[in-house]
Amino acid sequence: MLLLLFSMSCSAQPKVELSELRFNEDASAMIKDVPDIHQGQLFDRTDMVSYGVSKNTMFYFKDYLPLHVELLSYKGQLTGYAFRMRTFGDQQKVESYFKAKYKMIPAEVKSKLVTSTKYADDKILVEFDAISKESFEKGMFGYVNVRRPDFAAEYERLMQR
């Protein structure tokens, strides 16, 4: 029995803490051996890639494990991530972290049901969409999108075309 537990722990995937990413990590190394990953080029550009991690078991945000995570790569480096929050409690935990770490300010209104906030500096762009507890009960979800500013600027430029 002890041998079985030891072998299970040795083959376990490493835990990646999203909040500690520096956005200079090698994207190919980050996704190596990740099961259930789907890769897609953005805007038909080979240097802009989105990796969808379904059935996520290794990318955590503090103690929250999103079911699905989108990882973004630009010029071979990890440049961002995004995920949904499934419950109001999960949303509060994630939102508390961002409010404590960054000076989140109101963002463009997307819907009367969504409270959007953002933070930007020369290293990070955070966009956080929060919803009410009642909206979660109706099947909606909160969403966070964290990116490196150069990637975000190029993405927005391409969206304008």
57-87 pLDDT tens trace: 999 999 999 999 999 999 999 999 999 999 9
Does some domain include residue 90?
Answer: yes
Give the total number of structural domains in the chain: 1
Does some domain include residue 2?
Answer: no
Does some domain include residue 67?
Answer: yes
pLDDT at 7: 39
Does some domain include residue 19?
Answer: yes
- Whole-number Cα distances in Å, 66 to 10, 70, 99, 147: 23, 10, 19, 17
pLDDT at 13: 65
Query: Average pLDDT of 1-5?
Result: 41
Look over the chain and give the mean of its residue pLDDT values, rounded to a whole number.
91
The encoded tokens of residue 132 equal 């009410």
Q: Can you give the pTM of this predicted structure?
A: 0.88
| Structural domain of 40 | 14-159
- Whole-number Cα distances in Å, 121 to 18, 41, 64, 87, 152: 18, 26, 25, 29, 12
Does some domain include residue 1?
Answer: no
pLDDT at 110: 86
Does some domain include residue 8?
Answer: no
Does some domain include residue 31?
Answer: yes
Tell me the percentage of the chain whose pLDDT exceeds 70. 92
